[in-house]
Amino acid sequence: MAKFSWRKAAVVAAVVPLVALSACSSQGGKPADNGGAAAAGQVASTDRIKVALITHAAAGDTFWDIVRKGAEEASAKDNVELLYTSDPEAGRQAQLVQQAIDQKVDGIAVTLATPDALKDVLKKATDAGIPVVSLNAGESVSKQLGAFTHFGSNEQLAGEAVGTRLASEGYKHPVCVIQQQGHVGLEARCAGVKAKVPATEILYVDGKDMTAVQSTATAKLQAAKDADVIIGLGAPITLTLLKSVTDAGSSSKVASFDLNADLAQKIVDGAVIFTVDQQPWLQGYMSVDSLWQAKRGGFKIGGGQPVLTGPTIVDKTNASDVLKFAQQGVR
């Protein structure tokens, strides 16, 4: 398949014990990592600043632990107090942005999975002189909503990469599973697959309920006897789809987007044929670091354009190498 490339960003990884990290919201991922990433290095000599990272993370989704780990390492290096909160419900995510504005933070990094719900509050942030960057979702609307850059994978391109790979291997009837209807990034992924494999079907599931995901996907595979590959759009979803394939007695193969250590192991073992990694550690790290750079010297990383962190394909040929980084929580 064609080799995809993206803009390279220099990432400095001198890490010191983390201090003064805020607690995650009740909907967010793991507790704050206070000191687990200690290494030789020196904190930036610039004045301490406060940065809010606000995502649409759902409870239990390990993807966001990786994003947060990158943000924590950048915060430690840059003398940043990181305020991490998250909520998968768009209205509550907007409230978290407002909370950050009220706290007079020095910068906001935010995901734009549901951009219409955030446009008004982000205007308040930029009107207040708070620099904003976006990450992970919402690349196409990031600039319109006031962000000076976006860190993430082009989801249409990522979907097309998957579709091209599947077509080259002879798959004709994929089922693309979307765990959050209306999420612009997830919809773009499946649209990209369908652009390359027109017979692709979309299956919507409730990503907050893995039991329901498993049963819905099982029923689909039992009904769609011609389905030859089912695609999860996140590692926890894909790992659940493996159970659905077994429950349905289906011969369908399993492909994925995103990554964690368990999924990397499944690729090594041959249970999942490949995944497309958007390298979320970089998204968290670069979002925080770019806001520090903006404060430090008025720098605008990206020159007004998105900075791509993917797509990169992980398959049997490189999964063993990636696995060791996934086990460290950075892939």
The predicted pLDDT at position 177 comes to 98
- 150, β-bridge pairs: 134
Per-residue pLDDT tens digits for 89-123: 999 999 999 999 999 999 999 999 999 999 999 99
The predicted pLDDT at position 61 comes to 83
Q: What is the DSSP letter of 59?
A: T
The predicted pLDDT at position 11 comes to 36
What pTM does this model have?
0.78
Percent of the residues in the chain that have a pLDDT greater than 70, as a whole number: 88
Per-residue pLDDT tens digits for 217-267: 999 999 999 999 999 999 999 999 999 999 999 999 999 999 999 999 999
**Segments in the chain below pLDDT 70:** 1-41
Radius of gyration of the chain (CA): 19
- 83, β-bridge pairs: 52
Residue 162's identity, in one-letter code, is V
- 277, β-bridge pairs: 312
Give the whole-angstrom CA distance, residue 230 versus residue 244. Answer: 10
Compute the Cα dihedral for 83, 87, 90, 92 and give only its sign.
Answer: negative
Question: For the purposes of burial, counting CB atoms within 10 Å of the CB of 216, is it exposed (0-12), middle (13-18) or buried (19 or more)?
Answer: middle
Tell me the C-alpha to C-alpha distance, in Å, between residue 151 and each of 51, 85, 206, 240. Answer: 16, 18, 26, 28
Question: Which candidate, 113, 196, 133, 137, places its Cα nearest to that of 162?
Answer: 196
